[in-house]
Amino acid sequence: MRIVLLGAPGAGKGSQAKSLSERYNVPHISTGDIFRALKPDSELGQLFAQYASKGQLVPDEVVLRIVKERLDQDDCKNGFILDGFPRTIPQAEAFEREIGSDVALNFDVDNSILMDRLTGRWTCKECGVPYHKSTMGDITKCTRCGGELYQRKDDTAETVANRLKVYDEQTKPLIDFYAKQGTLKNLDAAKSISEVYEKIVQILDNL
Catalytic amino acids?
A: 13, 87, 121, 152, 163
Instruction: Identify the residue among 4, 6, 17, 52 touching ligand AMP (CB under 6 A).
Output: 52
Q: 6, 32, 155, 164: which one contacts ligand AMP (CB under 6 A)?
A: 32
29 touches ligand AMP (CB under 6 A)? no
Question: What gap in Å lies between CA 118 and CA 156, rounded to an integer?
Answer: 8
Task: Give the separation between CA 167 and CA 123, rounded to whole angstroms.
Answer: 21
Q: Is 58 in the site for ligand AMP (CB under 6 A)?
A: yes
Decide if residue 163 touches ligand AMP (CB under 6 A): yes
Instruction: Identify whether 173 is preceded by a cis peptide bond (ω within 30 of 0).
Output: no
164 is an interface residue for ligand AMP by CB under 6 A: no
Does 9 help bind ligand AMP (rule: CB under 6 A)? yes
Please answer whether residues 2 and 85 qualify as being in contact, where contact means their C-beta atoms are separated by less than 8 angstroms. no
Among residues 16, 31, 106, 119, the one that binds ligand AMP under rule CB under 6 A: 31
- Write the single-letter amino acid at 81: I
- From residue 105, alpha-carbon distances to 31, 149, 168, 201 in Å are 17, 28, 17, 11
Provide the 10 A C-beta neighbour count for residue 93.
13
> Which spans of this chain sit near ligand AMP (rule: CB under 6 A)?
9, 31-32, 35, 51-52, 55-58, 63, 84-85, 87, 91, 154, 163
